[in-house]
Amino acid sequence: MKIVTTPMCEKILEFAGIINYKVNKNPDNEEGDIAIILSESDTKMDSLKIKLNTFTQIKNSIVQVSKLKKIPNNKLNINYSIPDDNFNSDIEELSLKNNDLFLNESDLSSKLISDIFSNYSLALDWLDNDKKRDFRKKNLNIRVKVYSLFLRDIVEDMGFTIVELEDNDSKSDYTIFPDYMNFNNKDGSNILISIPTHNNAPKDPIKRAELRYSILNNLKIK
């Protein structure tokens, strides 16, 4: 099976133990059977779309990508997106041409998953349910407006109260946006928080998420 992925997803294949693959920003420029791509991307070839915004999404993506090692070429005919959270309970609702291949237990043991995250202290904290509950409780009273869907995933995971962009009557404490957007806070009503993307963020998805979470971890109730 010929696997193609993008630079943003390559580390997930490494974590999943997949060795033979090609890397190209435009997977369709390569000869391949399946592309591992971000959920907002599209390819002409069959694809497995993954989300890498939150630590849970990253963990789930590693588990699911690892299952590609079991797929025989003659059964490869999928276009599949991994759910955000609790994928094992939701996966049966998805329309998969090869759903049996994804309903089996993961090839990755819980110990191996733990080993992958062992060098990422902030990620481990947010994957600990008790610690995450405390973090989210602290953030609940912080009101934010957020631009871009990938940042919304993170903000929701961290438990901040989101003020919708079209809501002009409610006040927010912070405006969170990706660094490729320009903002002018003319009235100074809230604090602007720019989040690194693309070349300003690590290629390693766990390090990238840790950088973004660490910035938002510093937000305080005003």
- The closest of 8, 6, 15, 41 to 199, measured between CA atoms, is 8
The structure tokens listed for 187 are 């009235």
Could you report the per-residue pLDDT of 39-48, keeping only the tens digit for each?
A: 999 999 999 9
pLDDT of res. 79? 52
pLDDT of res. 140? 97
C-beta of residue 28 within 8 angstroms of C-beta of residue 44 = yes
- Domain spanning 121-218: CATH 3.40.50: yes
Could you give phi then psi for residue 98, rounded to 5 degrees?
-135, 50
- pLDDT > 70: what percent of the chain? 81
Could you report the per-residue pLDDT of 20-59, keeping only the tens digit for each?
A: 999 999 999 999 999 999 999 999 999 999 999 999 999 9
Residues 171, 168: Cα–Cα separation, whole Å: 8
Confidence bin at 150 (pLDDT 50/70/90): very high
Half-sphere exposure of 192 (CA within 13 A, CB side): 12
Q: Specify the higher pLDDT residue, 76 or 89.
A: 76
pLDDT of res. 93? 32
Helix (H) or strand (E) holding 195: strand 191-195
Residues 221, 7: Cα–Cα separation, whole Å: 37
Confidence bin at 185 (pLDDT 50/70/90): low
Residue 85 Cα distances to 61, 157, 198, angstroms:
10, 10, 24
Confidence (pTM): 0.84
Residues 6+ away with beta carbon under 8 Å from 39:
49, 50, 51, 81, 82
Q: What is the number of other CB atoms lying within 10 angstroms of the CB of residue 99?
A: 13
- The closest of 151, 200, 199, 158 to 176, measured between CA atoms, is 151
CATH code 3.40.50 region(s) in the chain: 121-218
pLDDT of res. 103? 39
Residues 186, 53: Cα–Cα separation, whole Å: 30
8 pLDDT more than 50: yes
